[in-house]
Amino acid sequence: MNDISRRGILAGVAAPLFAQKKDSKKKEKKGPPPRGAGLKPNIVLVLADDLAAWMTGCYGNLEIKTPNIDRLAKSGVRFINSFVTTPICSASRATLFTGRTPSQHGIHDFLTPNPIADPPQGQKEAPASFAREIFLSDLLAKAGYRCGYSGKWHLGNDARPGHAFDFTYTFEGGSSRYQDPVMFLNGARAAGKGYLPDLISQRACDYIDQQKKGQPFFLTVAHFNPHTPYDGHPQKYYDMYKESNFDSFGIQPAAPNALREREMLADARANIRKCAASVTALDDQLGVLRKHLLNKGFTDDTVIVFTSDNGYLLGRHGLWSKGLASDPINMYEEVVKVPMIWSWAGKTPVESARPEMVSFTDFAPTVCEMAGIEPPAAQNLSGKSYLSILTNSPLPKGEVWDDLVFGHFRNTEMARDNRFKLVLRNGGEGPNELYDLRADPREMANQFENQQFITVRQVLSARLAAWRGRTTPAGAPA
């Protein structure tokens, strides 16, 4: 196992053309421009809430209907192994937009005015330093992009997100009702009559209507679906699943360490029917957005990205929700693995499924390279651009892709390569886990104490310690 190589297959941005200067004796080549310079496509990010990769058709689910997500995957690149750093909403979103880990940006959990002490759940507010974080939107705006945001924010200052967004349509906190929600338009209370996903999509489409050719824009459409509550969706979506039993889901009885979710697990199939309805309702919104981009003539110069802030269990492992569904915190595949789909006409190959392991920490560097931006060195980003992988181009000479991702959620850390997953808790004091995912993809057999895997355990522990050292600010507890 090479300490500096990601064993992925390829990557790199296509080699740029070199300017040439004629000379009577020779042709002198100038240095290449920054990778991605001059591209500046429009970027539309569609962000779901609590949607695991395994819950969608293009990732193998045969029971939940997601035709628009599946069509988007066919039109571009689907990452088979895409991981969040933290399987909880606020912390994960902060990493997505900054490229930084919880130890760096300071949001370690979901933000709530009423956190729970035992076991710890929730964080009352972001630290004061979070206001100084540089978001992807800040960088894009400086590079000439207009930036808009429609949907769930949940990073503090929900009514007025700031960060160079010239348009915002949000709701307060991390939850909302689906019918007649309380919304904020550019910081002012706005009438929210109707179905929340329709309202979010309509405001996003209104923002697209304001855009002009030649002026790049970055638009985030952050849907609340399929987050609870599961009530409030149009009846047609519930009707789609009234006969579904979800036998393929691997539902298990409530685990002994399940937290406050036993009522959901007591009637798991009925609740999954409601969740599935919410997923398909979300899927329809993606269709609305893509059609609007097409009608407005933006399809050819717009990148569409679809992902989710964390995964979900829906009865697997005897748990309902995500990382905080259990005590201790879990890092199961279902909660850390999310869809990551990119579609960019003429630039990304169609019907492409990439095996490389990518992280939420890689998203901001990728967008920056796409827009010809160099992230500030002071941000100390741990991720790396995968633009080359997206465009199926060779990596620049000397660069390799390291198939290894990391996770961090309060007292729990994860290192996962393309075969093994190590989970350490309480600084290695435990309880700890090690899984051979090739032999045990559902993570049923903990091999941490198995001496046959001692080398694997030591190597992943060392890599995790090195990552922790790179991403923990000086003076902060490691």
Residue 399 and residue 447 in one domain: no
- Chain centroid offset of residue 36 CA: 22
Residue 395 and residue 469 in one domain: no
Residue 392 and residue 441 in one domain: no
Which pLDDT does position 217 carry in this prediction? 98
Residue 148 and residue 42 in one domain: yes
| Per-residue burial over 127-149, b = 16 or more CB atoms within 10 Å of its CB, e = otherwise | eeebeebbbbbbbbbeeebbbbb
Mean predicted confidence (pLDDT) in 114-140: 97
Among 345, 374, 404, residue at a domain's last position? 404
Residue 399 and residue 430 in one domain: no
- Judged against a pLDDT cut of 90, whether residue 11 lies above it is answered with no
Which pLDDT does position 180 carry in this prediction? 97
For 385, residues 6+ apart whose C-beta sits below 8 A from its C-beta are: 35, 362, 365, 366, 368, 369
Which pLDDT does position 7 carry in this prediction? 37
Q: What is the CATH number of the domain that holds 428?
A: 3.30.1120.10
Residue 395 and residue 441 in one domain: no
In a domain, 25, yes or no: no
- Judged against a pLDDT cut of 70, whether residue 468 lies above it is answered with yes
CA dihedral for 398, 401, 402, 407, sign (positive or negative): positive
Residue 227 and residue 312 in one domain: yes
Mean predicted confidence (pLDDT) in 453-477: 89
Mean predicted confidence (pLDDT) in 130-134: 97
In a domain, 468, yes or no: yes
Which pLDDT does position 260 carry in this prediction? 87
Mean predicted confidence (pLDDT) in 413-424: 98
In a domain, 274, yes or no: yes
Model confidence over 271-301: pLDDT tens digits? Answer: 999 999 999 999 999 999 999 999 999 999 9
Greater pLDDT, 394 or 151: 151
Q: What is the CATH number of the domain that holds 130?
A: 3.40.720.10
Mean predicted confidence (pLDDT) in 221-248: 98
Residue 182 and residue 205 in one domain: yes
- Judged against a pLDDT cut of 80, whether residue 80 lies above it is answered with yes
Mean predicted confidence (pLDDT) in 319-323: 98
Residue 313 and residue 249 in one domain: yes
| CA–CA separation, 202 and 190 (whole Å) | 14
Model confidence over 215-230: pLDDT tens digits? Answer: 999 999 999 999 999 9
Mean predicted confidence (pLDDT) in 425-437: 98
Residue 316 and residue 355 in one domain: yes
Share of the chain above pLDDT 70, in %: 91
Which pLDDT does position 474 carry in this prediction? 57
Pair 85, 307: CB distance under 8 Å: no
CA distances from 184 to 126, 158, 227 (A): 20, 8, 20
Mean predicted confidence (pLDDT) in 339-345: 98
- Judged against a pLDDT cut of 80, whether residue 32 lies above it is answered with no
3-state secondary structure of 352: strand
Predicted model pTM: 0.92
Pair 89, 310: CB distance under 8 Å: yes
CA dihedral for 326, 331, 334, 338, sign (positive or negative): positive
**pLDDT-based confidence at 4, cuts 50/70/90?**
very low
Which pLDDT does position 18 carry in this prediction? 31
User: Do the strands 183-185 and 167-170 form a parallel or antiparallel pair, or are they unpaired?
Assistant: antiparallel
In a domain, 26, yes or no: no
In a domain, 5, yes or no: no
Which pLDDT does position 475 carry in this prediction? 53
Which pLDDT does position 38 carry in this prediction? 57
Among 363, 379, 404, residue at a domain's last position? 404
- Judged against a pLDDT cut of 90, whether residue 59 lies above it is answered with yes
What total number of domains does the chain contain? 2
| CA–CA separation, 113 and 455 (whole Å) | 44
| CA–CA separation, 47 and 309 (whole Å) | 7
Mean predicted confidence (pLDDT) in 77-102: 98
Residue 459 and residue 342 in one domain: no
* Minimum mean pLDDT range among 17-31, 59-73, 225-239, 306-320: 17-31
Mean predicted confidence (pLDDT) in 462-472: 95
Share of the chain above pLDDT 90, in %: 87
Greater pLDDT, 322 or 9: 322
| Residue 237 CB neighbour total at 10 angstroms | 21
CB-side exposure of 303: number of CA atoms within 13 Å?
Answer: 25
In a domain, 128, yes or no: yes
Model confidence over 114-126: pLDDT tens digits? Answer: 999 999 999 999 9
Model confidence over 357-405: pLDDT tens digits? Answer: 999 999 999 999 999 999 999 899 999 999 999 999 998 888 899 999 9
Domain span holding position 74? 31-404
- Judged against a pLDDT cut of 70, whether residue 19 lies above it is answered with no
- Cis previous bond, 120, omega within 30: no
Mean predicted confidence (pLDDT) in 121-145: 97
Pick from 133, 207, 40, 49: nearest CA to 381: 133
In a domain, 13, yes or no: no
| DSSP result, 138-170 | HHHHHTT-EEEEEE---SS-TT---TT-SEEEE
Among 404, 425, 454, residue at a domain's last position? 404
Residue 337 and residue 415 in one domain: no
> What's the mean pLDDT when you consider all of the chain?
92
Pair 152, 223: CB distance under 8 Å: yes
**pLDDT-based confidence at 192, cuts 50/70/90?**
confident
In a domain, 130, yes or no: yes
- Judged against a pLDDT cut of 70, whether residue 5 lies above it is answered with no
The residue type at 180:
D
Which pLDDT does position 207 carry in this prediction? 98
Which pLDDT does position 10 carry in this prediction? 33
